[in-house]
Copies of this chain bind each other. A is one copy, B any other.
Amino acid sequence: MPATATHRVPIELGERSYPIVIGTSLIDEPKTWSAVPASAQALIVTNTTVAPLYGQRLQRALAQRHRTVHVLALPDGEQYKDWQTLNLIFDALLKQACDRKTVLYALGGGVVGDMTGFAAASYMRGVPFVQVPTTLLAQVDSSVGGKTAINHPLGKNMIGAFYQPQLVVCDIETLCTLPQREFSAGLAEVIKYGPIADMEFLGWLEANIGGLLARDTSLIAHAVKRSCEIKAAVVGQDEREAGLRAILNFGHTFGHAIEAGLGYGQWLHGEAVGCGMVMAMHLSNGLGLVDRAFVERLTALLRAAGLPVAAPRLGPDRYLELMSVDKKAEAGELKFVVIDRPGSAALRGAPDALVREVIGRCSAEG
């Protein structure tokens, strides 16, 4: 494997600042962890899929930072992102008499990161927390923003905290074992950063999509780095999600409708978001903001990334119903993240008739 440079993205949030370290061969290297506060105890929270791959390796590498490193493997899957499973983390901490200096490591994808982060935010009102995301989606999406949460039977991510880690380590090698479908879904969130913020990055992705799909670690490292940088710039201006941060949800309003309409788990989150971006591009075009060629350009890149670009045929009524629930917080007209010019996004209302037309145009032929 060719040597891959190690990148470092500083996340500037005053006293809650931390670095994201991106590269290869990071997990096994004790010096990767040298900035983590030393403590008597640490707990690696992972899941039953990731534990056999990296659990012991991380545990061994941490031996210099902590006298005792426990490993807890949670059941794998979004359906376990609930209080009962979260409580397994608290049980483990309390059974080991872990004090408030205990460091929690989240080793896994978004579900592990969200739950471990919320556990760290809440255990004894806050203990240090390190993220080791092992999926592309988690590396580009959960590394920045400090969002942690569990689901409630009546809503996803309804119970949680904004809580920043001490350090995020993205070891690109962990992505080499990802199933292709999951890797492509992660690419959707990478591609997102082009149209909303950086046309040069979009061009780079178009030129390198083949190498990315072939899991070239240097290329992936650059893509992760640039995604984190862009997200950091947005979140840095709006840590508590008051306004600007909404542009990160490009493709998510249509995407959530697809996920909910088909039943969660049918399409992966990234697949739904990718297709949602195609729909949001058509909406932007219908509002006269971008030309048709730009819509086609993004659609082609998503298709090249192995993502579905034709929406499921739920019918416009069902889409509108699902999107209204999603946006119930906002009174009146539905709002969408649109591209107002290539490389720039904004939150805009759109007439129902246009939204219906877009849904019709984007839906898969029967």
* Chain A residues close to B by CB (< 8 Å): 83, 87, 90-91, 94-95, 97, 99-101, 121-126, 147-149, 152, 154-155, 158-162, 240, 328-329
CA–CA, A95 and B147, complex, Å: 23
CA–CA, A97 and B154, complex, Å: 9
21 CB contacts below 8 A, A to B, read A83-B83, A83-B87, A90-B152, A90-B158, A94-B152, A94-B154, A94-B155, A94-B158, A95-B154, A99-B329, A101-B329, A122-B122, A122-B160, A122-B161, A123-B158, A124-B158, A125-B148, A125-B160, A125-B162, A126-B162, A161-B161
Using A94-B152, A94-B154, A121-B161 as known contacts, list a sample of 4 further A-B pairs with CB atoms less than 8 Å apart, ordered by residue number in A. A90-B158, A122-B159, A125-B161, A125-B162
Cβ of A159 to closest chain B Cβ, rounded Å: 5
A329: B residues at CB distance < 8 A: 99-101
Cβ of A319 to closest chain B Cβ, rounded Å: 20
Structural contact, B161 and A126, CB atoms closer than 8 A: yes
Interface pairs A-B: 4 shortest CB-CB:
A94-B154, A99-B329, A125-B160, A122-B159
Q: Which residue of B lies closest to A240 (CB)?
A: B126
Cβ of A250 to closest chain B Cβ, rounded Å: 21
A99: B residues at CB distance < 8 A: 328-329
CA–CA, A28 and B235, complex, Å: 41
CA–CA, A159 and B83, complex, Å: 12
CA–CA, A162 and B125, complex, Å: 6
A147: B residues at CB distance < 8 A: 125
CA–CA, A76 and B51, complex, Å: 42
Interface centre among A90, A122, A125, A159 (most CB of B within 10 A): A125
Q: Which residue of B lies closest to A161 (CB)?
A: B125
Q: Which residue of B lies closest to A124 (CB)?
A: B158
Structural contact, A91 and B124, CB atoms closer than 8 A: no
Structural contact, A91 and B123, CB atoms closer than 8 A: no
A154: B residues at CB distance < 8 A: 91, 94-95
A159: B residues at CB distance < 8 A: 90, 122-123
Interface centre among A159, A161, A328, A329 (most CB of B within 10 A): A159
Interface centre among A121, A123, A147 (most CB of B within 10 A): A121
Cβ of A14 to closest chain B Cβ, rounded Å: 11
CA–CA, A149 and B123, complex, Å: 9
CA–CA, A149 and B122, complex, Å: 8
Interface centre among A99, A100, A158 (most CB of B within 10 A): A158
Q: Which residue of B lies closest to A91 (CB)?
A: B154
Cβ of A32 to closest chain B Cβ, rounded Å: 27
A126: B residues at CB distance < 8 A: 161-162, 240
CA–CA, A123 and B149, complex, Å: 9
Q: Which residue of B lies closest to A83 (CB)?
A: B83
A95: B residues at CB distance < 8 A: 154
